[in-house]
Amino acid sequence: MKLSPADFPKRKAEHSIISMVTCYDYTMACLVNQTNIDCVLVGDSLANVMHGEENTIPATVDLMALHTRAVHRGLPDKFLVADMPFLSTRLGLYRGTKAAGKLIAAGADSVKIEGADGNLELISHLVESGIPVMGHLGLTPQFFHAMGGYKVQGRTEEAKSKLINDAVAMEKAGCFAIVAECVPADVATAMSRVVSVPVIGIGGGSAVDGQVLVLHDLLGLSSFKPKFVRHFMNGADLVKNALNEYDECCKNHTFPAAEETFTK
């Protein structure tokens, strides 16, 4: 059964782990829809994965809406979250609400917002307006310039305290779940203990309430493999081997075969 925002805290209370993956296109969405995965994120990582950008900054609201609409068409049975892209939350309540509304209209069931500082008012406003919000703390890729790159967050006591306090603030603002990215396991665990909503880790250890990975990473379709990623299959070799077999069959005239050829 498809989850609702109210189900996320219930799943945490039941100690039922939430599985989440990214997805960016209709074909993959159709496949994910046939699995046991609980939740899908149209992440602004699509800028990297689908468009070859160096970071997530080039993702726009229009681009996010385009991919969200495609995923929505193939994903009727899964809860769908769409990322609010770079600066879309920083241009005032009106523009932030308009951007979130565009993603919901494209088929998202909720939006995800990176960072607590400067975003709590918008989060509360969106929730009060009927738009569910998932929070995101720790390594927030939209802030990688300010962070000095992609680095593990929460390594000092001060930084750990801030992450815990931000998690509490996000829950109070109305977030139904919070992603914790690239933080020490004890920090992610501490974040989970102080909130009643699930903390979903990506590089946050196993003692949290759920996990999220980029689909292309877990399928081994990319050479990108940071410490927190596991390749659950060697997708790159499978694809290359299939293409090479197709090439060979074309060139030795074994494709198309008689049964693959029209005669009339």
Q: Are 231 and 214 in contact (CB under 8 A)?
A: no
Residue 237: other Cβ atoms inside 10 A = 11
For residue 131, the one-letter residue type is I
Q: Which residues contact 80 (CB under 8 A, 6 or more apart)?
A: 39, 40, 41, 42, 68, 71, 72, 107, 108, 109, 110
Contact, 42 vs 67, CB < 8 A? Answer: yes
Cite the DSSP H helix spans in 129-225. Answer: 144-147, 157-173, 185-194, 215-218
Q: Is there a catalytic annotation at residue 121?
A: no
Around 260, how many Cα atoms within 13 Å sit in the side-chain half-sphere? 7
- Backbone phi, psi, residue 204, to 5°: -125, 15
Contact 42, 134 (CB under 8 A): no
Write down the catalytic residue from 157, 158, 171, 181: 181
Bridge partners (DSSP) listed for residue 20: 39, 212
Which residues participate in catalysis according to the annotation? 181
